[in-house]
Chains A and B, each alone.
Chain A
Amino acid sequence: GAVVSQHPSWVICKSGTSVKIECRSLDFQATTMFWYRQFPKQSLMLMATSNEGSKATYEQGVEKDKFLINHASLTLSTLTVTSAHPEDSSFYICSATDRPNEKLFFGSGTQLSVL
């Protein structure tokens, strides 16, 4: 199956700093990438949908100025958590699809801990 690479796997940072998470599709062109957030023992919450070359579409309640998404190429999307605070600590996971209405391929996730 298709491979999605996500880096870093985990990051610890101080409150107020910004953290960038990368998501790459290694063997296919990802026209659409999704960013999810997952709290312990909870399911995946869709944060935003990103299409290559256009602005990301954010879900209700997700601050677009705080969670900056860039999808500059068909194989790379980045999520930047700006001025991170402890409440932003969570598991962030990206996913991608190469065709509309087809299954998602997931990255391995990034565990963010903000001190």
Chain B
Amino acid sequence: GQNIDQPTEMTATEGAIVQINCTYQTSGFNGLFWYQQHAGEAPTFLSYNVLDGLEEKGRFSSFLSRSKGYSYLLLKELQMKDSASYLCAGIYNFNKFYFGSGTKLNVKP
């Protein structure tokens, strides 16, 4: 729902930096979340952006541009354990969470 789009799959090397993009419908949009999900497990919260700009939290950073309907998740110093699906989720009309299709990240040695 809400046309939340992100790449299906990405591959990166251990120690490198990777950027996962997300575009979304701006009508009714309130804020954007990034979640990490390992296969068969529940998603875990990574970040939340409401205002434009970059939020940094350790090796992970998230960026939001409300006018462009665009966000990205930046992962630095990649580790093998970062191999997972990364879900972009938008909150709309203050009470609905919609998820993108998820980006499967493969980290190789």
Could you tell me which A residues sit within 8 Å of B by CB distance? 1, 32, 34, 36, 41-46, 49, 59, 91, 93, 95, 100-101, 103-109
Complex A-B, nearest 10 residue pairs according to Cβ-Cβ distance, in ascending order: A106-B42, A43-B102, A44-B99, A43-B101, A43-B99, A103-B45, A101-B94, A108-B42, A100-B94, A109-B42
Q: B5-39: which have CB < 8 Å to A?
A: 30-31, 33
> Is B60 close to A, CB under 8 A?
no
Residue contact B100 to A43, C-beta cutoff 8 Å: yes
Give Cα A32 to B89, complex, Å: 17
Contact across chains for A104 and B31 when beta carbons are under 8 A apart: no
Interface residues of B (CB under 8 A from A): 1, 30-31, 33, 40-45, 48, 85, 87, 89, 91, 94-102, 104
Residues of B within 8 A of A103 (CB): 33, 45, 48
Q: Which residues of A contact B98 (CB under 8 A)?
A: 46
Closest B residue by C-beta to A6: B42
Of all chain A residues, the one with the shortest Cβ separation from B98 is: A46
On whether the beta carbons of B1 and A44 are closer than 8 Å, the reply is: no
Quick one: given A100-B95, A101-B94, are A44 and B31 in contact (CB under 8 Å)?
no
Most buried by B among A42, A43, A45, A107: A43
